[in-house]
Chains A and B, each alone.
Chain A
Amino acid sequence: MIDYASVGTVLLAALVHATLQLSLGSLLLLYHASLGKHIRIKTRRLASRYVTGVALMTLLVLSAACFIIFTLCRGAMSTAGLSFCIGALVGLAFCAWFLYYRSGRSTELWLPKSVASFINRRAKLTNSNVEAFSLGLLVGFAEMPFTLVLTIVSANSILMLPQIWQVTMLLIYTTVAITPLLVLRIGIRRGQTVVDVQRWRNKNKTFFRILSGAGFLVLAGFLLAFEIMGRT
C-alpha cells in the first residue's frame, strides 16, 4: 500500500528544490555566453547537455542518499535523525530568507565570490557538450548545501514506499527539480531573450526568496506532523 505522507514529502521536497536559483542562473549564464559565440542550434545542444548534467547529479545524489540510509539506518531514519533534519530545514528557511540572495538589485546568490566567478568563467568557456554536461554536474554539486537535507528527507520517504514506487518517485523528484530549467529552455526557444528572463528574475526576487523559505518551513512542519508525530 502506498504511504501518501511519504509521497507528499518527496513532492514537497522536490518543489522546494525547484525554487532554488543556482542551476537556473547558471543555465541563463550559459545561454548568455553561448548565444554570443555560437549559432542557436549549438547553444540548444549545450543547454540540453547542461540540463542532463543537473538531472543526473540530482538523481545520483538522491540514489546515494537512499543507499546510505538503507545501509546505515536499516531502511528508515530514527526519530532523532528526522528531528535533526527538521531543525536543519528550519535553519535553511531562515538562510533562504536572509542569506540566499546578496543584497542589491541583482540576482547574485550566497555563493562565495571565488565559486561564483569560477562558475561564471566555466559558463563562458563552455564550448563542447562534455563541458556543458560537466558544468551541470558541478552546479548540481555546488547547490548541495541547500539541497542535501531535502535529498535526505526525500530518500528516507522513498524507502518507505513499495519498490516500484521507489524508482518512480526517484524519477519524479528529479523531473520536478529540473522543471524550471526545462521551462527556461522552452521560453528561450519561443523567443524570450536572456534580458527578458533576467528582468523577470530580478522583479520576482523577493517572491522567490519568500517561496523558498516558506517551502523549507512547510516541509519541516509536514515532516513533524506526518513522519514524527503521526508515527509515534
Chain B
Amino acid sequence: MIAKFSKQNLINDILCEAKALGLRPETVEPIAIRTADEVEEWTKGRAEITEDDLARVTARELDQYNKDLGYAYNNRNKII
C-alpha cells in the first residue's frame, strides 16, 4: 500500500511503541527524532514508497539504537 510520509506521525508512532515497551519518553525522544530524520532522508528522491518499505527502513534505523524497539516496530502489523 502506498504510504504518505509524515515526520511527526512517525515520531508519535515510535513514542507509542516505546511506551508499550515501558521505555522512558525522555530516553526515546532523541532516538525517535534521529530515526525520523534518517527515514526522511531515505524518502527523498523516491517518487512512491509503500507502508512496508517505510516500516522496514524505520525498523532498520531503530535497530541501531534499541533492538526491542526495532523489533516491535517491524512486527506491529504482523502479530495476527
Contacts and interface: CB of A to CB of B under 8 A. Distances in A.
A37 B68 CA distance: 18
B65 interface: no
Contacts of B72: 32, 194-195, 198
A107 interface: yes
A193 B80 contact: no
Given A32-B72, A195-B71, A195-B72, A120 B19 contact: no
A35 B75 CA distance: 16
A32 B80 contact: no
- Chain B contact patch, size range: 10 to 19
Contacts of A21: 80
Nearest to A197: B79
B19 A36 contact: yes
A4 to B, nearest CB: 37
Interface of A: 21-22, 25-26, 28-29, 31-33, 35-37, 106-109, 111, 116, 119-120, 193-195, 198-199
B49 interface: no
Contacts of A22: 80
22 contacts: A21-B80, A28-B79, A29-B80, A32-B76, A35-B20, A35-B21, A35-B22, A36-B17, A36-B20, A37-B19, A106-B75, A107-B78, A107-B79, A108-B78, A109-B80, A119-B80, A120-B79, A193-B21, A194-B21, A195-B68, A198-B71, A198-B75
B78 to A, nearest CB: 4
B78 A194 contact: no
Interface string B48-80: 000000000000000000001001100111111
A21 B19 CA distance: 25
Contacts of B16: 36-37
8 closest residue pairs by CB, A with B: A106-B78, A36-B16, A25-B80, A36-B20, A35-B20, A195-B68, A36-B19, A29-B79
Contacts of A194: 20-21, 72
